[in-house]
Structure 1
Amino acid sequence: MYDFDVERPATVAEAVGALGREEAQPMSGGQTLIPTLKARLAAPSVLVSLGGIEEMKGVSMSGGQLSVGGGTTHVTVAREAAAHYPALAGLAARIGDPAVRNRGTIGGSVANNDPSACYPAAVLGSGATVVTNQREIAADDYFLGMFETALEEGEIVTAVNFPIPTAAHYEKMIQPASRFPLVAVFVAKFADGVRVAVTGASNNGVFRWTEAEEALSANFSVDAVADLKADGSEMISDLHGTGAYRAHLVGVMTKRAVAAIS
């Protein structure tokens, strides 16, 4: 590690001001950033801790949507979203290990947009809205690629608003060492159609599998996607699995998710 200053703002406004300092970087739960600092892959002069901002914490229902504060930990989402959005709560309950779930936050995960993170699949699969200190961003416009989002310099994820589907399920194959999904699929069924979001598979990060969405919107059953094959040309290929294997798992996880709902 190396020397850096730490700012601990109590409000979003204070955090935005602190992020105006040269080479300042926000830190939410720190589950990605701290290992990055230890590996010296990042070297901010100022860390702005968002952990003390109470207005960014909590889960609530409003206007038929579930609003989750950006500073809400995974364990809190797992507990407090269960009555309103079981699929989201189930996803949160299986992120990492207990230490990660007690420190990591939804805002940090969505802002980082790791290509194998769980929350981006729920956000994109639900058609959620990412709320920042400046604006509201539709999920389809938010995720731009591996570790890339629509966030601008100094912009903070203050909340994520989820419309509640009639049914949803998150199915993932866990990579045992990291606890990240090797491939995972979030399927959400709405009155006007089905959304299918895939994480862990693509070099471009989380994506919607539109062919599966069209098939399931016409006929919500395992048979509707039984013969579909995901395009493997842009899939991650590493020591844990080839691109072809991940493409195969996309189909498997989708069928399992649909079966869990049906």
Structure 2
Amino acid sequence: MKGDAGRAVAIVTGGSRGIGAAASRLLAQRGWAVAVNYVAADDAAHALVAGIVASGGRATAIKADVTDVGAVVELFARCDAELGRLCGLVNCAGLVGMRGRYVDVPDAVVRRVFDVNLFGAMACIREAIPRMSLQSGGQGGAIVNVSSGLSTSGAPNVEIHYAVSKAALNCLTLGLSQELAGEGIRVNTVSPGATRTEMPGAAVLEAAAAEIPIGRVAEPEEIGEAIAWLLSDQASYVSGAYLRVGGGKPG
């Protein structure tokens, strides 16, 4: 299925920048038609899609806030209409909110982080399952949830709320990988280490690099490679995995 360049369709949430953009480009290069989902970065999303199309790929940019269930329904409906039946989903949309001790993080920020990182992914998965499931006429598929090494450390004094949201996402992967196996759907987690994107900031990345055995932070494309592999037929027996891509640093 995934080897047929004319039939492999994926949605990448948070797909306009950083790891999501890297994954979108790599998937397009490997024959996937990609729906690049974004919420605010209009210019980046449309430039990414234009580049994919100019290189002979198929892609469309779809603006939708994953915390809005109605917008998620419309996102998947547009992907159906513009690209075809879904067989891949990358839940990459993510939000830190703010850094600091847990008691200093406003409740509204905590709730927003969970809405994006966990409940947004759950809403997308609910839409993906009937499109992929063998039981509803689909051809099977794969889901990749993008987590974080902080999900296993707890991130004390820094980002506990973010870490907990990602730990819950890990649990979601574990449960769904077993629940959906009989429907031809694989579910896995990629857990990036510190990665050169806009989210952490230059100072945070510089400090993180000193603690990574390989001696540097990851490039978005290096995380994108892991995502693309987990979606591919080469990972056909991999489900329920927590794939750490951290340069040798546990997490």
TM score, norm. by length of structure 2: 0.29
- Whichever of the two has the greater Rg, that structure is 1
Greater strand proportion: 1
TM-score (structure 1 length as normaliser): 0.28
Identify the structure with the greater helix proportion.
2
Which is bigger in relative contact order (C-alpha 8 A, separation at least 6)? Answer: 2
